Structure 1
């Protein structure tokens, strides 16, 4: 049974009112008495239930989520998860506002972070773009006492509080290990489709992919990266041109979004390369079933949103984050283990 304030009062030989003043750091308690209460707390292993205390006090957490407004399936799903969290606001004592910005637009993101800072919320979560302006805007949040969590893509050199996303270097390494094992031993060309090298998650995936390929499968040559801006039409055009220019292409690693365009280009091409993509959705699930894609690496957007909310609330309360609870795993899906 967990110790209670009554147990603390009995052990320290003081009143419940005195215990309440010590726990809530209020004045009016003699130093000797405070020491007795703190010793009793330590001896009993009492841990205060901050959430219950906040509920009793009617405390609410104002949170801002800044998300790109591109229409790829993953970002649409991420926005849906934030809206779902907002619909539970009353139960979770939160008030969630969403600000949408153009994708890969660092200036717009920095401006949105400044708008959020002026609202003085408990915390801000956002999909980061590596830019000095964004780093400075993020650090101003910290200077204002506002917690910051990066979602999906982290921010190099910033003082953000937490990153809610997968280990993207590990994701890239996983994709390379799978592709290297799927392909025959003879060498050949591998295409890489990214959204933009402005975002850290895409750079980290490429770094992990390239590292494994160069060290473990040196006969497979990675072609220059194609940046499709996570736009299906742009990705379709880039993929189609790549197939024309490299008729012996062995593999494709799509480390960003816009996979509707890639799948369309693959279906229209006589080539049948090994293809590994990211994010499980209706399009990639169907493509796996049809054999158009060989594997999909997935991250749980809902877990990332829930993690961001937990971390922002914990930071607002001055509590430590439970790292194991907030670790986002990389799921690997083949045609054989689709949910």
Structure 2
């Protein structure tokens, strides 16, 4: 049976109130008495249940989610999942708020992070723009004792505590394998649509995609990346332009958002052409495009799992508790029209 605070009090010959003061680091205990209590804790092998203690004290965890202000379906879904977490706040003892910053704007993100240093929240989760100033701001927060989790896109060179997202290099490699195999050995060009090379998830997906294309599908040449900043209108214009001017394009990999614009361009400019298309994120628009054959495969990450994982990790880090790695691993799903949930 696990030792309790009553066992510590009996072993040290002190009151429960004294044990409580020592466990919580509060003043009012003589040095010799504190040493006696600490010796009893060591002798008994007492391990404090921090979560239970915080529940008893009614601790609430103020958490901040920083998201890009972007009109794309995936970010709408991510915001909706955070809304669901806010609805569970009473049960999970959280006080969650969201802050939006312009997408792909490191200076705006730094400004928000610097402002949060004065608030000292229990934790911060952010969709990161990978820039030196952003890493420096994250590092400063961590050094101040604020837990930080990156969400969807990582900052691997920073001191952030955890990344809640898929393995994006593996995602890019998977996309290349699917696209190359679907094309069945034909030769041609592949267009790549991204949001911005300022974010690590897009760079890593491109890295994985290009590596497999070079290794396994040398008959397919990858065109220079089209950056649409996850904007549907820009994505529509870029894809429509490249399809209208290059008849040798046989495949498209959309590694970011803006898929509404991609789908519209495919229906307008791709009609009558045998194009193979792999994209990211299962939304109402990409689901419909899978069903009608406009898109061949979707790689998906579970935004709800990412949000729940970020909250669990931030609370654990705030309490100094370990993170269960297997529970926080975000799965990469592959959907065809035949296995849609």
TM over 0.5: yes
- Distance in 1 between residues matched to 2:287 and 2:89, nearest whole Å: 32
Deviation at 1:23, TM superposition (A): 4.7
> SS at the partner of 2:65?
strand
Cα pair 2:179 2:251 within 8 Å, conserved: yes
- TM-score, normalised relative to structure 2: 0.92
Aligned to 1:282, which of 273, 281, 284?
Answer: 284
Cα RMSD after superposing both structures: 2.0
Find the counterpart in structure 2 of residue 335 from structure 1.
337
Contact 2:3 2:44 in 1 (8 A): no
Matches within 5 A, 1:153-168: 153-168=153-168
Q: Give the distance between the partners of 2:83 and 2:299, measured in 1 at CA.
A: 24
Return closer, same or farther for 1:266/1:5 CA change in 2, 3 Å cut-off.
Answer: same
State the aligned residue count: 334
Q: Does the residue aligned with 2:133 lie in a helix, a strand or coil?
A: helix
Q: Which runs of 5+ in 2 are unaligned?
A: none
- Name structure 1 gaps, 5 residues minimum: none
Aligned equivalents of 2:11 and 2:212: distance in 1?
60
Which residue of 296, 299, 302 corresponds with 1:300? 302
- Displacement of 1:25: 5.3
TM-score (norm 1): 0.92
Name 1:3's counterpart in structure 2. 2
Q: 2:8·2:37 contact (CA, 8 Å) conserved in 1?
A: no
Counterpart-to-counterpart distance in 2, 1:273 and 1:7: 71
Does the CA-based 8 Å contact 2:12-2:37 persist in structure 1?
no
CA deviation map 1:308-338 (0-9, x unaligned): 1111111111112111111111011011100
Partner of 2:318: 316
Q: 1:135 to 1:30 in 2, by over 3 A?
A: closer
Instruction: Report runs of 4+ in structure 1 exceeding 6 Å deviation.
Output: none
CA deviations over 1:283-320 (Å, ceiling 9, x no partner): 01111111111110000111111111111111111112
CA–CA separation in structure 2 for the residues paired with 1:251 and 1:212: 15
Aligned to 1:209: 209
Q: CA deviation at 1:58?
A: 1.6
State the distance in 1 between where 2:274 and 2:125 align: 40
C-alpha distance in structure 1 between counterparts of 2:283 and 2:316, whole Å: 31
Q: Confirm or deny: 8 A CA contact 2:51 2:319 kept in the other structure.
A: no
